[in-house]
Amino acid sequence: MPSEKAKENKALAATCRACEKSFSTELMVALPGVEQGHPRQFPVCVACAQKGWRPPGFSGVYTFRPS
């Protein structure tokens, strides 16, 4: 669910590639992957990233750092 700030400004909201829900960019991470042979960043909500979702071609380490 987008924050109040994101509801007012659509540029502050993004759709998670894993669960297809809209979130505030404050609750998103960008995971590197490959799509159609080209590297790109995939926006994913923190919850899906913590559950282990990774984009195709992901080759890295994702570790959640609580604030």
Report if residue 25 sits inside a domain: yes
The total number of structural domains in the chain stands at: 1
Query: Is 23 inside any structural domain?
Result: yes
- Classify residue 19: in a domain, yes or no: yes
Residue that the structure tokens 């297809």 belong to: 20
Q: Is 62 within a domain?
A: no
pTM above 0.75, yes or no: yes
Dihedral, CA of residue 17, residue 20, residue 25 and residue 28, to nearest 10: -50
Residue 7 above 90 pLDDT? no
Q: Are 14 and 48 in contact (CB under 8 A)?
A: no
| Buried/exposed code over 30-56 (b: 16+ C-beta within 10 A; e: otherwise) | ebebeeeeeeeebbbbeebbeeebbbe
Residue 58 is assigned to a structural domain of this protein: no
Structural domain contains residue 17: yes
Residue 12: inside a domain: yes
| pLDDT surpasses 70 at 49 | yes
Domain of residue 19 covers 4-50
